[in-house]
Structure 1
Amino acid sequence: MVSREHKLREAMHEKLQLLRSITNSHALNDSTIVLDASKYIEELKQKVEILNQDLEAAQASSDQNPLPVATVETLEKGFLVNVSSDHKRCPGLLVSILEAFEELGLNVQQARVSCADNFLLQAVGE
């Protein structure tokens, strides 16, 4: 019969080998496998911290550059589109709006655009 202690050692050895493979350790003894696993966990913690910092930076950036606000009203014959943004620097916004009009097949009759203090577009079409 296999002793209980022997079974426990086998189970521990299997778990350490699994840990070794998960952490890409090349260690040959149990204590080094555990040390490599500890280093691997620290590296993962650092990666998570960097990702959290990147996420916070992205959220702060989006808070500083909110999306433009668009409203559409129907007129007796056609529509009125108003787009505004609190930032005067909206590179490519006008082009994106005009491309959207084209994709939707909207025929713009008249448009006014201002980029002085902030971005404003008013378009009338049918």
Structure 2
Amino acid sequence: MARVMQKRATSRRKLHIPRSLSTSKSVRGSSIVLGALLLYIHKLKLKLAALTRDYCTLYATNRQLLKYTRLLKMSQSQVRVEKIGNVARPSFRVRVMCEKRGGRLVPILEAFEKMGLNIMQASVSCDRMFAMEAIAVAAAQEQPPAATAVTQALLEAIK
């Protein structure tokens, strides 16, 4: 009988720590462990809900930033002119990227014509933004313009 009482006291001492963690008033070990487990699961659910809210907020913010970044990139006109070819008859590789609006191609072609450049090859895209890549050759009878002059003329034609 004393042995049984001693075992019972030992098991109560061992269950004191889990009981304090779960705030359970029960004497049975299985209900104390179950209470602690349910409390732990509840805390994990709360943490998961908080992380989900944070993720959704960050995802929405990221999407807005990407949208504004794309709009900024599209609103900025980019013109790159590289001089290629020989000295006697220079050619230019021209890349133009700007926002998509009607009537972009005609002013650009008129600017090439005013500068005395003939378009040998061109590709134009108007999917999300206006993009053009062309190879222009200076006419034989005229003095070829500088690459910076071509860039400035194209920027003015775009605006």
State if a TM-score over 0.5 links the two structures.
no
For normalisation by structure 1, the TM-score amounts to 0.41
State the TM-score, normalizing by the size of structure 2: 0.34
Instruction: Work out which of the two has the higher radius of gyration on C-alpha atoms and give 1 or 2.
Output: 2
